[in-house]
Structure 1
Amino acid sequence: MLRRIRDGWTSWRGRAVEPAVREALARLLPDHRFPDVVEVGSFWTRTDDVEIDLIAADREPIAERLFFAGSVEWLEDRPFDNHDLIELARAQAAVPGGGICR
């Protein structure tokens, strides 16, 4: 049992903290830096080939405008780097209307 917990800990930890980060950002709204952001959520495709942990939008469930996209990472062996940023930008481009994120 302990081995199963250790093997899945990193994945579980990341999934567990994502909703807390989204809720924390949502509680900061409204914010003068992003006055039109009303919702903070996430995005993924039906096939799970694209997943974005944080999406700031003007409304839900279908946004007209997106303002930023973000990634929640809890990496043990390295910091968030340019590779991660490039992957986030690539994923953001797959979001309908995502090309307009600032």
Structure 2
Amino acid sequence: MGLLESLADRIVGQLETMNERLERLEQRNEYNTDIKMFRVKEIAEKTTLSKTMLYNLIREKKFPCVIVGSRKLVPRKGLIKWINENNVMNQDEKDAAQDWLAKEVKNL
């Protein structure tokens, strides 16, 4: 297995792990009643999304947000829903991406 294939497998594995964790969170009772809100800065610190990118998504109404005065707060449920909806690869797409990557690596 080449370096690119290995990297692709790791990324796919991490996405699957994130989805499994989110599914477990959704099943917990406190998740269903919790109204936890995150600041944009907190989300940026915990993800690979920059504050600028998050603010742009919020401005374009493509990211869940509650505006309180000048503060922009993201509800936990909205964040989890956004992550699930924007997980761009289903299993068929993951398999196709891995196949394509394997072909590209062979051509190098």
**TM-score by structure 1 length?**
0.35
More helix per residue = 2
**Highest Rg: 1 or 2?**
2
More strand per residue = 1
**TM-score by structure 2 length?**
0.33
